[in-house]
Amino acid sequence: MPGPAGAATEVSGARVSLPGWLQISLRFAQQRPLGAAGAVIVLGMALAALLADIIAPADPWATNYSLMFQRPSSQFWLGTDSFGRDILSRIIYGSRTALLIGFTSAFFGSTLGAVIGVASAYFGGRVDLLIQRLMDILLSFPLIILALAVVAILGIGTVNVILAITVPMIPRCALVTRASALAIRETPYVTAARAMGFSHMRIIFRHMLPNVMAPYLILVTAFLGQAILLEASLSFLGLGVAEPTPAWGLMLRGAAVEFAERAPWMAIFPGLAISAAVFGFNLFGDSLRDALDPKLRTG
């Protein structure tokens, strides 16, 4: 029987002390195997990004026109593209681009949305009404349309792509965190903080924001998959990162229609990488939501 964090666990007649984080991980894997599978995919992607310099078999930027459209083989496991670049190496390095843009966009979008949502719930009245109508306007646009509008205004580039993906996520996080903050606003400790004369900023950042961390973490994880997909979509349309940066969306763009029959691997493998990353983050995010949301918690 697993005990509390840091307790001894009996294995093959011997008692072995497991760290608390390992016990929590094992319990999570037992209760939510799909979430654990998603975590493995996410961890593999993170390791590929961190160790790209070591595990990539070739230089992802090096072109060799004598090796154009090489089929998958023992030399090039996933083949080469129209510039003779190794596709496996570009996919490995592309995980860096996906995680950099995805995590940064999800973090800033969720953080700004959480602050706006909590502030809206705290002040209430006309401030809440004005903020919510602004959020409703932003929510009326699909993610990709609003991202395209921001890119059209700011131009292409990594920083602009991050901003373009961040903006559509702000109202979605603000809506969720506001719902949680409305209940927190009426708690005795917030009322006591007001009575003691604490500033609005202190009450919002010290007393209310820490209590919406569960939905915040869930949103960050869920938005990561959406951000990766949005980045790939913008790059595919030529509005994301620019060549020769290794990026999965750019690789799909390079696998143009005229290469579909001649070199289908140029589109198949980057597409599989995008699908696996989004699938992994969605599985992990859904399981994390079930684990952290008291209404959905089963164990």
Band (293; pLDDT cuts 50, 70, 90): low
Enumerate the β-bridge partners of residue 16. 9
pLDDT at 11: 47
Which domain does 261 fall in, by range? 76-292
234: in domain: yes
Q: How many other C-beta atoms are found inside a 10 Å radius of the C-beta of residue 200?
A: 11
pLDDT in tens, 53-92: 999 999 899 888 888 888 898 888 998 888 889 999 999 9
pLDDT at 297: 52
Question: Across residues 142-155, what is the average pLDDT?
Answer: 87
116: in domain: yes
Q: Provide the token pair at 133.
A: 């109508």
- Per the structure, how many domains does the chain have? 1
pLDDT at 18: 63
Contact (CB, 8 A) for 42 and 284:
yes
Provide the pairing of β-strand 14-17 with 8-11. antiparallel
Taking every pair of C-alpha atoms in the chain, what is the biggest distance, in angstroms? 76
212: in domain: yes
49: in domain: no
Q: How many other C-beta atoms are found inside a 10 Å radius of the C-beta of residue 58?
A: 18
Question: Across residues 148-171, what is the average pLDDT?
Answer: 89
Lowest mean pLDDT among 5-19, 28-42, 84-98, 212-226: 5-19
Q: Which sign does the torsion angle of CA 264, 268, 269, 270 carry?
A: positive
pLDDT in tens, 91-126: 999 999 999 999 999 999 999 999 999 999 988 889
Enumerate the β-bridge partners of residue 15. 10
pLDDT in tens, 240-264: 888 788 889 888 886 666 677 778 8
Q: Which of 96, 66, 111 is nearest to 215 (CA)?
A: 111
47: in domain: no
Question: Across residues 134-161, what is the average pLDDT?
Answer: 88
240: in domain: yes
pTM of the model: 0.81
218: in domain: yes
Q: Number of helices (H) and strands (E), helices first, in the chain?
A: 12, 2
157: in domain: yes
CA angle 77, 37, 276 (to 5 degrees): 45
* CATH number of the domain to which 175 belongs: 1.10.3720.10
